[in-house]
Amino acid sequence: MSETKKWIAVITDGVGMAKPSIGNAVDLANIPMMKSHWGPNIFANEYRTVSTISRLLEASGTAVGLPEGVMGNSEQGHSTAFSGCAYKEPASFIPYDIANGSFFRKPAWETLVAPGQDNGTVHFVGLLSDGNCHSDINHLFEMIRKCAKQGVKKLRVWGLLDGRDVAPHSAQDYVSQLEDLLKELSLGNEVMDYRLAMVAGRMTSLMDRDDKWERVQRVWDAMFNKQSELCQSALEAIEELRGEAELEQGEYTDADLGLRLIAEEDGSVPSIQTGDSLLLFNFRTDRISRFMSWMLEQPLTEAAVAQGVERSTLPGGIDFVVMTNFDPENLPVKSYFYEGIAFKDTLVDFLGKHNKRIFHTSGPTKGAHVTTFTNKRSKSKPEHCTWRILESDQEEPLGLEADMRMHEIRSEVVEAIKADGHDLIIVNLMAPDMVGHEGNVDHTIAAVEATEKELKGIIEAAMLAGYGVMYVGDHGNAEVLIALDDDGNVPTEGEQNAHTAHTTNPVRCNFVFPTEEECAQTVSRDIEDPSLANITATIAWLMGLPEESFPGHWQPPMFERRC
């Protein structure tokens, strides 16, 4: 028997494992191939069919470098799966640094608060939620309290509304908490002036990932040029924006809302001025990198120019601070609280050293996940890699086109197989996650079924060419689309609310072998709490590379020998 040396790694984005329910699109979908691979008990630690082996993996919390109990996300899922271990994200240690005071002793904090102790204003911009995927509003609360203690006189918050990593229509809860704190600190203090300046849906403003630069310009013009409709309060603004969204879109979440500025106490329009400071308090900045590039006064991209975007001049003397130096190569910020993760050898690095070639492909919304997130989060393409990311012509909502051009992604994979010039193919099938964020069960069922269709086409082409296929979810999402009660069940009484966020559920990792004999002779290794971190070494092992050469920080492969 010859061992399979070439493999395809498919991320079935957002496909998690949960007990059956009327909100579990994965269970309700007609996906006979995947379910046959998973076996009669999807929660069993291992299940073997004729030529497949299936393992259950952890994909959230500490297993992927996040705080305990925090839902998984695509960035962490892909990074962990292809780096061999779970690197701790800032979300894991920011709360401890704030609690012990070390956060406020960092030079970046002094840079931020100094203008507000003089005649300037301290500004915060970021996502107002506790989803812990991009930000945590509790970090913001503690920073605002510290500003008050240190004599910052004037403070403004420019808030992005979530509805994606938290309940779809929960913006008013977070805004109310924030406004209560701001009023509490300002009440009865003639010196302190703390207010909310803006609310805007994250996807229509600064956290869009579809290269729509007019969205960045809209926020830029609001923040620096006072160009936006004005509301007297944030809650009034949210209600007004929701009315507009319902008329224009029908189904929507807070992420899809437009933008409103919130009037100053005297009715004037807020703005950021020369001599102020601005903190981007999102600790994950990949989704907000376009705004960062403008704050760093980098040249407009070709895409921005083609879209007719115009950027007004940034007022001088603004101290721009970020939480994490996420991408120093492309976004060289001067003032930040934390360095980005110092990744050691990843699977991409390791295969390059062994003269293996890799083909990466996905659709535009998940392009970075199969390229930069597998490559130490660097945008510099290694010579041994080919990156093929489809351009976007997709308009939200996504449910009406549930396949999200995955058939074209499958075609890219099939052509790469035929070319026979790559040892590993990394691909993302994104529809279950992207459509799942809408919280529509029927649409997500269609997305999961479309994923099976394209996955089946990839597997069939792979088997004919002698490739093995591994497919795995990077986190849960599509398996919980109706908010669960405290017992983890869909409520049988009262209102049933959509669930649009990721989950903490495990995922299935499945290995499809070209021959029954090779599958039967592949022996599983007994691993305590296997997770996405075990995937890197497993792929290298399946490609025939010696385990003794693996970097020491890698978690062990899921298999130990062939009989």
**Reported confidence tier of residue 486, pLDDT bands at 50, 70, 90:** confident
Beta strands in 455-519 (DSSP E): 468-472, 507-512
CATH 3.40.50.300 for the 105-339 domain, yes or no = no
| pLDDT given for residue 227 in this prediction | 95
95 neighbors 88 (Cβ within 8 angstroms): no
What's the confidence (pLDDT) of residue 397?
A: 45
pLDDT at res. 542: 96
Q: What does the pLDDT look like over 428-467, one tens digit per residue?
A: 999 999 999 989 999 999 999 999 999 999 999 999 999 9
Indicate whether this model's pTM tops 0.85: yes
**156, HSE (Cβ side, Cα atoms, 13 Å):** 23
- 7-89+354-562 placed in CATH 3.40.720.10: yes
pLDDT tens column, 380-435: 999 999 999 987 554 544 554 556 789 999 999 999 999 989 999 999 999 999 99
Which residue, 506, 392, 488, 490, is CA-closest to 441?
490
Side chain identity at 195, as an amino acid letter?
R
CA distance 482 to 473: 20
The amino acid that residue 304 corresponds to is A
Whether the CB-CB separation of 185 and 148 falls below 8 Å is answered with yes
Beta bridge partners of 44: none
Give residue 478's pLDDT band: very low, low, confident or very high (50, 70, 90): very high
What is the per-residue pLDDT for 41?
A: 84
pLDDT at residue 340 tops 90: no
Lookup result for tokens 């002793």: 105
Mode of pairing for the β-strands spanning 424-429 and 319-325: unpaired
In angstroms, rounded to a whole number, what is the distance separating the alpha carbons of residues 388 and 367?
Answer: 8
What residues pair up with 199 in beta bridges, in sequence order? 159, 260
Q: pLDDT: is 210 or 82 the higher one? A: 82
Q: What pLDDT sits at residue 2?
A: 60
> Cβ of 46: how many Cβ atoms within 10 Å?
12
Instruction: Please name the residue ranges forming H helices in 61-197.
Output: 74-83, 90-100, 107-117, 137-149, 171-186
Quote the strand ranges of 391-506, DSSP E.
424-429, 468-472
pLDDT value of position 401: 57
In the chain, where are the structural domains located?
7-89+354-562, 105-339
Q: Nearest to residue 74, comparing CAs of 537, 497, 472, 346?
A: 472
The rounded distance, in Å, linking the Cα atoms of 36 and 38 is: 5
Q: What percent of the chain has pLDDT over 70?
A: 98
Please, which pLDDT band fits residue 60 given cuts at 50, 70 and 90?
Answer: very high
pLDDT of residue 1: 44
Percent share of the chain, pLDDT over 90: 81
- Evaluate whether 523 touches 562 at the Cβ level (below 8 Å): yes
Distance of CA 283 to the CA centre of its chain: 12
